[in-house]
Each structure stands twice: as C-alpha cells, then as structure tokens.
Chain A
C-alpha cells in the first residue's frame, strides 16, 4: 500500500546491543516524525525531520538515540547499548509538510522493540 512502512515489526534484542529501526514514509511527505509508546501511555515525541534535517530532536532521551534521514525520504532510528527501559513500540509518522496546520500525522504500524 501507500502508507507509512516500518521494519522490523518486531525486534527482540539483548541488553547492550545495537538496534536500527527503519521508516519509509508516504511518498512526497517532507515531514517525518519518530515517537515511542509504552504500554498504557500515549505516543512520546522523539524527533522530527523536515526534509533531510532534524528540525526538532528535543525528545531524544539521551545520546544513545540517534536518527538520520539522509535523502529526505527513508529514516533510520538508531539505538546504541540498548537498555530494558528502551522496550516500547517505536512509531514513525509522516505529514505532507508539517503537522502544525492540519494536525494530521499518518502513522505506521510501529516497530515493537523488546530488550531482554
């Protein structure tokens, strides 16, 4: 389909390992967001790209988390030295230009990360 695609859908890893999560946004959407959602909580903002650049990375919890979007389309969220507290569903969303006016983000189905 033409929606936001995220891979892998599930990832189980061991504490201390490195993880990459990929997001392929809707074609033509310049804005791309990463959120993470823990059980019983709402989505928590991590980072937002406008084109290739990170417009706002204020939600990244610490320097173990990093995200890139080198060609302004696909994005990768990278987590180093994973911790059990990183376990969550990582949601990617895209928007045609930005969410400020319409408030409409199109979310992918998420990547469920479990750190053992």
Chain B
C-alpha cells in the first residue's frame, strides 16, 4: 500500500464549479501536510500547507482529519487556469516529503 493515496482522476468540471479532492495517508506519525500543484510537463510548486484547524487561501480551502488520516482540497469557482495535477504531500519528523500520485483536474469552458 502506498504511503499517500489519491484518486488519479481526471476530474472534468465546468468553469465556476466547486471541486474537492481527498487524499489518505497510511502513517499515523505523519506530522506535516501540503498540497502541490503541477502543470503539464512542468515542475511541482507548493500550493498551500494544510493546518489542523483547516485553512483557506482565496478560492482554495485545505482541511486535515487526523483521526481518519485524510486531507482534502476544495476549489471554489473553478477557473480554466486551475487545470493541473494536484499532489498531496506528507512528511513525518524528517525533511523528506512523500508525494502522492496526484489528482488531475481539467476545467472546461
């Protein structure tokens, strides 16, 4: 079983839609959580950290459920430019980041 699991998608949604991705992690010792974004044939870039209390950055909301060991990312009012792969990332008490497979989002007009 992979340490970080995501539905690969693709999620095809119209502009303006709200879409949510989930990610589960297997190691209960995981301490820090992040979402990265990767455009097609580009390098991954940090989108946002995920805090225990949940956090919001504009149209993006990230939540963490430690009891169930899952992380979510909600995107409101989807834009064409949101089309990308969203990578769930966890780490334990080291500096090694473990990436999930990624969930592909395609926003259409």
Contacts and interface: CB of A to CB of B under 8 A. Distances in A.
A98 B97 CA distance: 10
Q: Which of A31, A56, A104 has the most CB of B within 10 A?
A: A104
10 contacts: A42-B6, A91-B44, A99-B95, A100-B95, A101-B32, A103-B46, A105-B97, A109-B42, A109-B43, A110-B43
Interface string B82-109: 0000010101011111111110000000
Interface of B: 4, 6, 8, 32-34, 42-46, 49, 87, 89, 91, 93-102
Contacts of A56: 94-96
Interface residues of A, number: 29
Contacts of B4: 42
A99 B96 CA distance: 7
A55 interface: yes
